[in-house]
Amino acid sequence: MNATPRPQGTADTAAPAHPQFRPGRAFAHTSGAFGSGHPHRSDGRPPHTPRGARHTGPHGGPGTTPPVPGPPFRRPGPLFPALCLLVFALITWQVAANGPVRALDERLGRAVAGSAFPGGVAGFLSDLGNTAVALPVLAVAMAVSALRAGGPRRWVPPLYAALTMAAVPALVVPLKHAVARPGPPAMAASGAHDGFFPSGHTATAAVAYGAAVLLLRPRRPGRGAAATAVSGYALLCAGVGAGLVRCGYHWPLDVLGAWCLSGVLLWGLALTRRGPHARGPRRPRASTAPGPPDP
């Protein structure tokens, strides 16, 4: 069988031809072209691959299909309680050893006690640190938190708050007896016994109201709401401390030492509030399976 091979043209013998316009992928990316904005398909239809079918993220990068998972869980770091413990150790050392910081503290306390700050307002603010005022506020916050949460674990956060509050006298009372610091002149004249460091009223107010803020905060508070709650709580604690010093019930370092202890206790409570029972239901994760083909 004889097969005559067909003559094949070469580059020298082929007839010249002008390039023809073919709308393809390169022209699909140009602004205004048909299907522009779709890097994988020039006809405007979504591609078949899972990567191409994903929605873009907030910065234009490849994202995930909705619902988008929430932010990763982050626990508060140990830097804050370590700083509180360090400051408390330094204050306790100066107070117990009758150091120069204690002398400055007593001078400042006498100046604040004799200042023109209204005594009635100072007395009202100092009374906010009484257990008769702070504990009912915390009890109401615990009840509201349990009713709002629901579920079998609704009493877990209030239980942690109650244990944190119970730790205040367990820490403050032994420290008072160990340091045995005399009180301001007004308390010494009334015949009060020694043992004013740290301030029990300050620690009671800081822990009770701080625990109430942690219990009543929403699961995903906005930045404005969180800043308002923290600012109000800080002003309240500052008012209680200033009222105690103005009324001559405590020295300034007594208040500062109580704040340091309260910060450590509230940090531990915040750890429990960020646990699994406080996260809420998990959002379903995006599926990695490819989507159905185009019709």
Residue 142 near residue 161, CB atoms below 8 Å = yes
The pLDDT of residue 23: 53
Counting beta carbons within 10 angstroms of the beta carbon of residue 118, is it exposed (0 to 12), middle (13 to 18) or buried (19 or more)?
exposed
Residue 60 near residue 144, CB atoms below 8 Å = no
SS3 238: helix
Q: How many CB atoms lie within 10 A of CB 95?
A: 22
How far apart are alpha carbons 17 and 29 in whole angstroms?
A: 27
How far apart are alpha carbons 159 and 163 in whole angstroms?
A: 6
Q: How far are the Cα atoms of 48, 177, 254 from residue 193, in angstroms, in the given order? A: 81, 10, 15
> Which residues does residue 56 pair with via DSSP β-bridges, in sequence order?
62
The pLDDT of residue 253: 97
How far apart are alpha carbons 53 and 58 in whole angstroms?
A: 16
Torsion, Cα 134 137 141 143, to 10 degrees, reads: 110
Tokens of 48: 């078949």
How far apart are alpha carbons 177 and 194 in whole angstroms?
A: 8
Backbone angles phi, psi at 56, to 5 degrees: -75, 155
How far apart are alpha carbons 260 and 286 in whole angstroms?
A: 44
The pLDDT of residue 152: 80
Tokens of 260: 């340091």
Residue 271 near residue 75, CB atoms below 8 Å = yes
Q: What is the mean pLDDT of each run of 10 residues along the chain (295 residues)?
A: 53 54 50 49 54 52 49 65 96 95 94 86 93 96 88 87 96 95 84 87 97 84 78 95 94 96 95 58 52 56
